[in-house]
């Protein structure tokens, strides 16, 4: 099925390096946070590249940019390629831009070869994927799809009190289109760096993402009793010692609940607040968060049950009160089997090794897959490092992602079977 569309990894690389100059940091990373002047500058650069190959731009009310190339069949909805150009404050050059600029290079190659597709093809740059300046992450896609409320998105504030909607207008990127029209698509593709070490370690060029892990997040409050550090051990109700037992249990629970096929869960405690936080006071209250993820929703439910059971047992044993409160949930999200098949065939035809794998990390494609047939393609990143100025990939990894994307997009935009 190889289309042999002559895409150029060298041109893609030149675009990546040119965009990385906008908000480049001394350590070789990028600080191009969403809705800053630098984000605006990056958007103008992208617009220029897209308009040079005849794409027409539409911007929606939350700043998502859509560049369109018409197809022959007016009844078809667009095949989309997307990602984001916003970065973390000490971000890298590839998390996000790789997905947008591989899409640009595919459309440029199609333009130059004069290929006419049946379905239109669009390139999307989502607003605020990172969530670093305005929370939550994946705001552009989440709002367009209706998972997030548009008014709440517009009213979101950053740490300095700047308002999302005002910043969007200030940098000149609020459009008039209904965000719902941005996601009225036949299919969606996204290329992204793995943000983990496995592809590089195993020498695999392409990760074909089969599903996003189901997630459950909890708030935990352990309440004991403040006491003098000179008080006897036997009478204490030490909230931190109880919390420590439960944190150790989180690791055990994740390892102890394999799903179908033996895949393990993931359990993380990423925050801890100790009160009153005085060196000579036995802590009376501790708060922390638990993040559970699993590729098997039944095993995830068992992990959640085990967390409640461990909390109750520790509370009883130590005379503490332990409250475990559900905070947020995300279902297991499968990616589209037909699109995965296009990608697998493309990888084989172009001679790139590929592996099917889940993602434990959120992406715009994970939101998209809940409403639009979607595919997520991983390429390796050096040492698995991302959200870091040292984030790096090779031009050959970029080439693999680009070629596989090109062939799969042409297959999807061709005649319907």
Please state, as a whole number, how many other Cβ atoms lie within 10 Å of the Cβ of residue 139.
28
When the beta carbons of 109 and 212 are compared against Zn ion, the nearer one is: 212
Shortest distance, position 184 Cβ to Zn ion, whole Å: 23
CB 80 within 8 A of CB 187: yes
Tokens of 320: 């503490």
Shortest distance, position 363 Cβ to Zn ion, whole Å: 6
For residue 15, give the 3-state DSSP assignment. Answer: helix
Shortest distance, position 192 Cβ to Zn ion, whole Å: 6
Cis upstream peptide for 109 (omega within 30°): no
Q: For residues 363 and 26, what is the distance between their CA atoms, to the nearest angstrom?
A: 27
When the beta carbons of 134 and 218 are compared against Zn ion, the nearer one is: 134
Shortest distance, position 91 Cβ to Zn ion, whole Å: 9
When the beta carbons of 96 and 179 are compared against Zn ion, the nearer one is: 96
Shortest distance, position 153 Cβ to Zn ion, whole Å: 18
User: Beta strand pairing status for 374-379 and 187-193?
Assistant: parallel
Q: For residues 219 and 307, what is the distance between their CA atoms, to the nearest angstrom?
A: 12
When the beta carbons of 195 and 205 are compared against Zn ion, the nearer one is: 195
Backbone angles phi, psi at 259, to 5 degrees: -90, -170
Shortest distance, position 140 Cβ to Zn ion, whole Å: 12
When the beta carbons of 85 and 322 are compared against Zn ion, the nearer one is: 85
When the beta carbons of 82 and 224 are compared against Zn ion, the nearer one is: 82
When the beta carbons of 95 and 167 are compared against Zn ion, the nearer one is: 95
Shortest distance, position 193 Cβ to Zn ion, whole Å: 8
When the beta carbons of 87 and 182 are compared against Zn ion, the nearer one is: 87
Tokens of 23: 């908000």
Contacting positions for Zn ion (CB under 5 A): 95-96
The tally of CA atoms less than 13 A away on the side-chain side of residue 162 is 15
Q: For residues 312 and 324, what is the distance between their CA atoms, to the nearest angstrom?
A: 9
For residue 245, give the 3-state DSSP assignment. Answer: helix
Q: Which helix (H) or strand (E) holds 203?
A: none
The whole-angstrom distance between residue 70's C-alpha and the CA centroid of its chain comes to 28
Q: For residues 100 and 18, what is the distance between their CA atoms, to the nearest angstrom?
A: 13
Q: Where are the alpha helices (DSSP H) in 52-197?
A: 97-113, 139-144, 150-155, 164-170, 179-182
Q: For residues 203 and 199, what is the distance between their CA atoms, to the nearest angstrom?
A: 6
Shortest distance, position 194 Cβ to Zn ion, whole Å: 11
Task: Provide DSSP, 37-93.
Answer: HHHHHHHHHHHHHHHTTTPEEEEBTT--EEEEE--S-TTSPPEEEEE-----TTB-S
Shortest distance, position 10 Cβ to Zn ion, whole Å: 23
When the beta carbons of 43 and 257 are compared against Zn ion, the nearer one is: 43
When the beta carbons of 96 and 358 are compared against Zn ion, the nearer one is: 96
Shortest distance, position 102 Cβ to Zn ion, whole Å: 13
């Amino acid at each position: 099925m190889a289309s042999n569309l002559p895409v150029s990894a060298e041109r893609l690389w030149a675009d990546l390096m040119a965009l990385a100059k906008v908000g480049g940091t001394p350590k070789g990373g990028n600080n191009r946070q969403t809705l800053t002047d630098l984000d605006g500058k990056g958007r103008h650069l992208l617009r220029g590249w897209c308009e040079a190959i005849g794409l027409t731009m539409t911007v929606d009310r939350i700043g998502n940019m859509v560049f369109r190339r018409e197809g022959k069949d007016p009844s078809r909805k667009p095949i989309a390629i997307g990602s984001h150009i916003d970065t973390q404050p000490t971000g890298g050059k590839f998390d996000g831009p790789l997905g947008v600029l591989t899409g640009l290079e595919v459309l440029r190659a199609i333009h130059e070869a004069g290929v006419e597709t049946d379905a239109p093809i669009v390139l999307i740059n989502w607003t605020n994927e990172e969530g670093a300046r305005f929370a939550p992450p994946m705001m552009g896609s989440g709002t367009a799809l209706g998972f997030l409320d548009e008014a709440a998105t517009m009213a979101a504030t950053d740490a300095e009190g700047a308002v999302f909607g005002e910043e969007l207008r200030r940098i000149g990127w609020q459009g008039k289109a209904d965000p719902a029209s941005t996601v009225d698509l036949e299919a969606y593709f996204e290329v992204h760096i793995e943000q983990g070490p496995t592809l590089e370690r195993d020498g695999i060029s392409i990760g074909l993402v089969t599903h996003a892990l189901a997630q459950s997040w909890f708030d935990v409050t352990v309440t004991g009793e403040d006491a003098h550090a000179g008080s006897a051990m036997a009478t204490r109700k030490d909230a931190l010692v109880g919390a420590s037992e439960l944190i150790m249990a989180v690791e055990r629970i994740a390892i102890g609940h394999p799903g179908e096929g033996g895949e393990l869960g993931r359990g993380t405690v990423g925050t801890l607040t100790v009160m009153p936080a005085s060196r000579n006071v036995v802590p009376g209250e501790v708060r922390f968060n638990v993040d559970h993820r699993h590729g098997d929703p039944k095993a995830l439910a068992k992990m959640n049950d085990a967390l409640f059971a461990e909390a109750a047992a520790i509370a009883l044993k130590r005379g503490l009160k332990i409250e475990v409160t559900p905070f947020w949930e995300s279902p297991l999200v499968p990616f589209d089997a037909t699109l995965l098949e296009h990608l697998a065939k493309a990888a084989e035809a172009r001679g790139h090794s590929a592996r099917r794998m889940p993602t434990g990390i959120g992406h715009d494609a994970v939101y998209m897959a809940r409403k639009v047939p979607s595919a997520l393609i991983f390429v390796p990143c050096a040492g698995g490092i991302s959200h870091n100025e040292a984030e790096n990939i090779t031009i050959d990894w970029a080439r693999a992602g680009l070629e596989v994307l090109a062939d799969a997009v042409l297959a999807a935009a061709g005649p319907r079977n």
